[in-house]
């Protein structure tokens, strides 16, 4: 089976690290449980240009480089790797490919077939979307935390596991999307 896995807030605790960075550097008072919508300019209280500058500083700081893996992700990934092809599908930009690849190599060495960056969150118009990558690779299962991307990637031949986060709450998920609360749960499903 071909499995696509998002990086931020699925493999790594990125939002927690970004909040700590913002609270320390920009003296904000952010809390993860208060983030009800994944809108980085709104979260960081800035326009798109300034948000991208803040994200660049974050990713190049120790906060961004030392993001902690999500609980149980390392063990679960090692177990599901057997017999499956694993890919990282991230909306990060090419500018931070090196930092991203280094983080993956340090935390999940020799695990993923390839890293795909779609740059969907940037000032440039993205040519490649996660849905395009999923379709091109023939991804059977996608593990994602962003509800918009999950819906965009829905296909009859693809199951979506939506990692439970404060920003992806909805009364009823579309058919084909299943909410999961932990990597142990994901491991059981796979």
Share of the chain above pLDDT 90, in %: 82
pLDDT for the residue 122: 56
pLDDT at 126 over 90: no
Query: In this predicted model, what pLDDT tens digit does every residue of 7-62 receive, in sequence order?
Result: 999 999 999 999 999 999 999 999 999 999 888 888 988 888 898 889 999 999 99
pLDDT for the residue 130: 95
pLDDT for the residue 124: 58
Assess contact for 161 and 141: CB atoms under 8 A. Answer: yes
Strands 159-163 and 114-117 come out as unpaired
pLDDT at 123 over 60: no
Share of the chain above pLDDT 70, in %: 96
pLDDT for the residue 170: 95
pLDDT for the residue 148: 94
Calculate mean pLDDT across residues 59-69.
96
| Secondary structure (3-state) at 114 | strand
d(CA 63, CA 57): 10
State which fold the 2-13+68-189 domain adopts: Rossmann fold (3.40.50)
Q: Edge-to-edge strands of the sheet including 85-90?
A: 114-117, 85-90, 2-5, 141-144, 159-163, 177-180
> Which pTM was predicted?
0.94
Domain range summary for the chain, segments of one domain joined by +: 2-13+68-189, 14-65
pLDDT for the residue 169: 96
């Amino acid at each position: 089976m071909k499995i696509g896995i998002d990086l931020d807030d699925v493999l790594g605790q990125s939002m927690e690290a970004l909040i700590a960075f913002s609270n320390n550097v920009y003296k904000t008072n952010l809390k993860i449980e208060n983030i009800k919508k994944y809108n980085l300019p709104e979260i960081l209280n800035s326009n798109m240009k300034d948000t991208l500058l803040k994200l660049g500083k974050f990713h190049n700081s120790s906060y961004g480089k030392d993001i902690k893996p999500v609980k149980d992700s390392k063990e679960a990934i090692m177990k599901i790797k057997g017999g499956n092809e694993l890919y990282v599908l991230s909306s990060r930009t090419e500018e931070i490919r090196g930092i991203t690849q280094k983080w993956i190599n340090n935390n999940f060495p020799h695990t993923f077939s390839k890293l795909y960056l779609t740059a969907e969150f940037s000032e440039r118009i993205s040519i490649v979307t996660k849905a395009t990558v999923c379709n091109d690779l023939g991804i059977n299962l996608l593990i994602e935390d962003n509800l918009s991307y999950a819906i965009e990637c829905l296909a009859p031949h693809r199951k979506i596991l939506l990692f439970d986060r404060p920003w992806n709450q909805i009364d009823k998920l579309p058919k084909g999307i299943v909410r999961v609360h932990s990597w142990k749960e994901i491991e059981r499903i796979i």
